[in-house]
Amino acid sequence: MSREPRRRPAPWVQQRLDLLHGWELPIFAVKYVVEWIVFYLARWGLLRILEYSSFLSVLFAVAVYFNEASDRKKQKHYQAWQVINTAQGKSGGGGRIEALQELNADKIPLVGVDAARAFLQGVKLVKANLLRSNFEAADLRDCVLDGSHMEFSNLKYANFRNGNLRGTFLRESDLESTDFFGANLTGADLSVTNLKDADLRYADLQGIQWRGILSMEAANIFGVKNAPEGFVQWALQHGAISDKDAQ
């Protein structure tokens, strides 16, 4: 932005003509000296240099911030994996809910993650890549796993009560004694799974893929909703039960 050059101060003799009282002379002298200092500083461009230096400093700081963004994200992911791996085998949460959600939000694959016996109630992992994961005996009540890939996983004794597993891919996973009480399994892929002793009471089974299920022995299908045509009859013929109070 262009600026008008600062005007040269009037000579001392000329400015003294403006004095009305003698006692104003010291103040006038200081003012006169300051005007000349400002004039020469502006002439040398010092103030403009300082102005540009501040602007360049801000630009440099912004550039450094964005340049280091990738490193900060890597560090964040490393810390999240540390939380997950350090808590392996422990029954508490240990910060794993936040760590898993953070990694999934950044589209980091969670293939092979081991969260057996973990407390993950209410975890939200939409469209997560959880192939070959281990959630054996984990507490996943009220979870949101819509569209997640959990093929070839160990989900034995896991608790998915009232969870949302719409469109979740569970193909070839071990679901023995898994608790799906009241879960939403709409459109889930349950083909080639082991559902022995699984609790499916009141689960929504609309549009599930069930052909090729390996075992339904003692699986409880009481009150299932929107089951595909032929599923209930087939399940009962293959060892499933329908018992409201069975545990």
The SS3 of residue 231 is helix
Q: In degrees rounded to 5, what are phi and psi of residue 194?
A: -105, 110
Question: What is residue 184's predicted lDDT score, i.e. its pLDDT?
Answer: 98
Average pLDDT over all residues of the chain: 86
Which band of pLDDT confidence, cut at 50, 70 and 90, is reported for residue 202?
very high
Evaluate if residue 1 carries a pLDDT over 60: no
Q: Any idea how long the chain is?
A: 247
Which band of pLDDT confidence, cut at 50, 70 and 90, is reported for residue 245?
confident
Question: What is residue 40's predicted lDDT score, i.e. its pLDDT?
Answer: 67
Specify if 1 maps to a domain: no
DSSP class of 91: S
Q: Please tell me the distance from the alpha carbon of residue 227 to that of residue 30, in angstroms, as a whole number.
A: 94
pLDDT in tens, 25-54: 676 677 777 776 766 666 655 556 565 566
Q: Please tell me the distance from the alpha carbon of residue 34 to that of residue 117, in angstroms, as a whole number.
A: 77
How many H helices and E strands in the chain?
Answer: 6, 0
Residue that wins the pLDDT comparison between 176 and 18 = 176
Question: What is residue 147's predicted lDDT score, i.e. its pLDDT?
Answer: 98
Residues 6+ away with beta carbon under 8 Å from 76: 102
Same domain, 56 and 163: no
Which residues share a beta bridge with 134?
114, 154
Question: What is residue 72's predicted lDDT score, i.e. its pLDDT?
Answer: 76
| CATH number for position 98 | 2.160.20.80
Question: What is residue 9's predicted lDDT score, i.e. its pLDDT?
Answer: 73
Which residues share a beta bridge with 144?
124, 164
The SS3 of residue 181 is coil
pTM: 0.72
Give the mean pLDDT of 76-92.
90
Specify if 73 maps to a domain: no
Residues 6+ away with beta carbon under 8 Å from 205: 185, 186, 224, 225, 226, 227, 228, 231
Structural domains counted in the chain: 2
Question: What is residue 189's predicted lDDT score, i.e. its pLDDT?
Answer: 98
Same domain, 93 and 213: yes
| Domain housing 24 | 12-67
Q: Please tell me the distance from the alpha carbon of residue 99 to that of residue 105, in angstroms, as a whole number.
A: 10
